[in-house]
């Protein structure tokens, strides 16, 4: 009697590769990656709305208002300072990116305007890649940057953002994996393993860019990645930015029960990235639901009051300031253009 033969491992591997290729072709040709991204965003928002509805059910508005009235003005002032420092750090995302693409002629004040307005508008409007990019183009086009230059700038600034997030989450989850478990419901040991893997990938990336100049892209779109020392500076900028943001949230939390800052930082960054992935304006609903679920030990009305104050300080106030700055800039540019036209000599009459 013939014994069944074991399938060849190469055949199984080839089957997996063929299946992956078919899935990629199907998603690319039949569905479209844009639709998949929209579906993922809508799924995240739908889950967040469901969780938020169930979490907030039973909370009385009067309890939230009472918690807001009990907020210590000194905590609000301190949180405002941390938010200001965080946005100040954000301006160095653009300054670093401008220097990386070789535009050292653009002064810091312009980089600060572009960085602050693009991030505050992108945070609030949603789809920050497009809205923030549009604001940056409007600011930097006056200094001779074209769409390709702005795209490169956005890429380097985004790389700084993700390097900082990956480092903070890697270090934070390695120290307190329970912070991530409160959001993703995975075992602490598994989250710690993911954290060490993240840190290992970061170390490999730093070593890769340290050993030589790395250029990505092709044709008319190429970007030289920052070298090893500059990559460490990138990571440092991202860490400082996230630390200030997490500190602002930390001081707005209720006094009891007390949790460590690292724990809060892991929860805060994870919730922020979920809100970012949803593309909802300001992560509205998604960020709040994640924070309410992860920080279950707090009284919900008190925690909701802290979240509302943070949203006011970090989203609404900077957004209003950005609109004022952009509006004032357009007025000044319009007045300058009118005066330039007025100073031009009149065209001579046509010769008979």
* pLDDT at residue 347 greater than cutoff 60: no
pLDDT average, residue stretch 84-93: 93
* pLDDT at residue 262 greater than cutoff 70: yes
pLDDT of 63 reads 52
Q: Which residue has the higher pLDDT, 183 or 124?
A: 183
Q: Could you tell me which residues come within 8 angstroms of residue 325 by beta carbon, excluding any fewer than 6 positions away?
A: 113, 116, 117
Q: Which residue has the higher pLDDT, 195 or 287?
A: 195
Distance CA 347, CA 36 (A): 57
pLDDT of 44 reads 45
pLDDT average, residue stretch 225-242: 91
Q: In this predicted model, what pLDDT tens digit does every residue of 172-222 receive, in sequence order?
A: 999 999 888 888 888 999 999 999 999 999 999 999 999 888 888 776 678
Closest CA to 317 of 270, 264, 248, 250: 248
* pLDDT at residue 34 greater than cutoff 70: no
Closest CA to 160 of 119, 123, 189, 120: 119
Distance CA 185, CA 339 (A): 62
Which of the four pLDDT bands, split at 50, 70 and 90, describes residue 88? Answer: very high
* End-to-end Cα, the chain, rounded Å: 111
How do 215-218 and 221-224 pair as beta strands? antiparallel
- Is the CB of residue 168 less than 8 Å from the CB of residue 237? no
What are residue 216's DSSP bridge partners? 223
Dihedral class, residue 281 (left if φ above 0, else alpha if ψ from -120 to 50, else beta): beta
Q: What is the pTM of this model?
A: 0.76
């Amino acid at each position: 009697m013939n014994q069944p033969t074991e399938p060849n491992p190469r055949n199984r591997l080839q089957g997996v590769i063929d299946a992956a290729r078919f899935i990629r072709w199907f998603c690319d040709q039949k569905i479209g990656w844009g639709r998949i991204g929209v579906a993922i965003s809508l799924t995240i928002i739908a889950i967040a709305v469901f969780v938020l509805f169930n979490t907030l059910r039973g909370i009385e508005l009067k309890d939230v208002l009472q918690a807001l009235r009990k907020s210590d003005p000194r905590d609000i002032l301190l949180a405002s300072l941390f938010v200001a420092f965080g946005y100040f750090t954000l301006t160095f995302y653009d300054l670093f990116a401008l220097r990386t693409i070789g535009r050292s002629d653009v002064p810091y004040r312009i980089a600060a305007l572009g960085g602050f307005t693009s991030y505050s508008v992108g945070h609030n409007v949603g789809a920050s890649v497009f809205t923030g990019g549009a604001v940056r183009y409007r600011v930097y086009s006056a200094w001779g940057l074209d769409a390709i230059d702005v795209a490169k700038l956005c890429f380097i600034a985004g790389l700084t953002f993700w390097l900082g997030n990956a480092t903070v989450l890697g270090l934070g989850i390695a120290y307190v994996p329970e912070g991530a478990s409160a959001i993703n419901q995975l075992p602490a040991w598994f989250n710690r393993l993911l954290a060490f893997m993240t840190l290992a990938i970061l170390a490999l990336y730093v070593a890769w860019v340290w050993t030589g100049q790395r250029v990505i892209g092709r044709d008319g779109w190429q970007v030289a990645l920052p070298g090893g020392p500059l990559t460490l500076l990138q990571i440092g900028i991202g860490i400082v930015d996230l630390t200030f943001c997490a500190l602002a949230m930390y001081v707005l939390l209720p006094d009891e029960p007390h949790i460590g800052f690292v724990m809060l930082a892991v929860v805060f960054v994870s919730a922020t990235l979920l809100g970012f992935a949803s593309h909802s304006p300001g992560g509205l609903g998604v960020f709040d639901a994640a924070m309410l679920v992860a920080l279950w030990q707090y009284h919900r009305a008190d925690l909701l009051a802290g979240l509302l104050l943070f949203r006011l300080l970090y989203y609404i106030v900077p957004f209003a300031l950005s609109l004022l700055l952009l509006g004032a800039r357009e007025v000044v540019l319009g007045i300058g253009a009118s005066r330039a036209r007025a100073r031009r000599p009149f065209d001579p009459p046509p010769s008979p």
